[in-house]
Structure 1
Amino acid sequence: MAPKYLYKILDSQPPSPLPEKFPTTPLDAQDGFIHLSTAQQTPITAKLFFSNHDRLWVLRLDREALDGRIEYSTDPKAGVENGCAHVHDSTKGLGRGNVVEVVEVRRESGEAWPEVKGMRGLTDS
């Protein structure tokens, strides 16, 4: 069963109020699709790609409100079955119409992202 929510990790605070459409991240622009994670994958993604950050913002996205084609590609480094979600050919992108919540997460010195309370509290439904 497909998750109700998918997540986007940002390393800088999003604007408030949320815009209709966020600017594309450099990685998403380079790869030509939007990189997302499930609740289970988000702490792992943070550990792999945001290890130099102690503060992140996680966008909880309504999967059904995303336009474009969602594909799951397995990344052996992630160690999670079914791979990470990628949104291809989106015209709306991410923004006010599909962001349900912005969760700010902080980690203490020496704490790994999978141990952070805010990361452990993410859900797929």
Structure 2
Amino acid sequence: MSDSKPNYVYKLVPSSSPVSLDISEIPANLPVSSLDQESGFIHLSTSLQIANTLKWFFAQDNSVFVLRLPYDKLEEEKLIRWEDPKAEACGPRGGEGMFPHLYNGLKLGRDEVDLVKVLTQIDGTWDKSIENAINDGWLEY
């Protein structure tokens, strides 16, 4: 992990999942992915890792929900661990370093999430959508 801590970490969720864009409608516990269930923790990404997470895990999706989690609260509660990715799960990911993982009994919902947005592929890639999210100010690089 770099010396500077992020303001936010992000959970990417398929658009087929039952997630509301209205934060007041987010339940206390959203369903978690089978990968998260098998791992025993919730896989997260920093803003800089989102592009490759989309590439490796969401290449076939047209759109995804992006759940934004304020980092400081999770760190204060000692719920985040920075760990290297398992190469056998997604292939080589050179230069990405350590990933944030949420260890809180697989709980992800309104207490952890402060914003939900949608990213949609534009012209077959995620690049423009990520750029737009950065320019709109909700995805911090």
State if a TM-score over 0.5 links the two structures.
Answer: yes
Matched, 1:107 2:121: yes
3-state DSSP of counterpart to 2:114: strand
State which of 69, 74, 81 in structure 1 corresponds to 2:79.
69
Normalized per residue, the structure richer in helix is 2
For 1:61 and 1:22, the matched residues in 2 are separated by: 14
TM-score normalised per structure 1 = 0.82
Deviation of 1:23 (Å): 1.8
1:116 pairs, out of 121, 124, 128, with 128
Relative to total residues, which structure has the larger strand share, 1 or 2?
Answer: 1
Specify the structure having the higher radius of gyration (Cα): 2
Moved over 4 A (4+): none
- Amino-acid identity (%): 32
The answer to whether the 8 A contact 1:105-1:116 is kept is no
CA 1:74–1:95: 2 relative to 1, 3 Å: same
Query: 1:116 is paired with a residue of what secondary structure?
Result: helix
* 1:49-88 alignment runs, 5 A limit: 49-66=57-74, 67=77, 69-75=79-85, 77-88=92-103
Provide closer, same or farther for how the CA distance between residues 100 and 8 of structure 1 changes in structure 2, counting only shifts above 3 A: same
CA distance in 2, matches of 1:45, 1:74: 14
Report the CA distance between 1:52 and its aligned residue: 0.4
Which runs of 5 or more structure 2 residues have no equivalent in the other structure? none
C-alpha displacement of 1:68? 5.0
Contact kept, 8 Å, 1:65 with 1:97, in 2: the verdict is no
Q: How does 1:23-38 map to 2 (within 5 A)?
A: 23-38=31-46
The 3 A distance-change label for structure 1 pair 20 and 65 is farther
Count, aligned residues: 120
CA contact (8 A) 1:54 1:106 kept: yes
* CA displacement at 1:92 relative to structure 2: 7.1
- Residues of 1 paired with 2:27 and 2:8: CA distance? 20
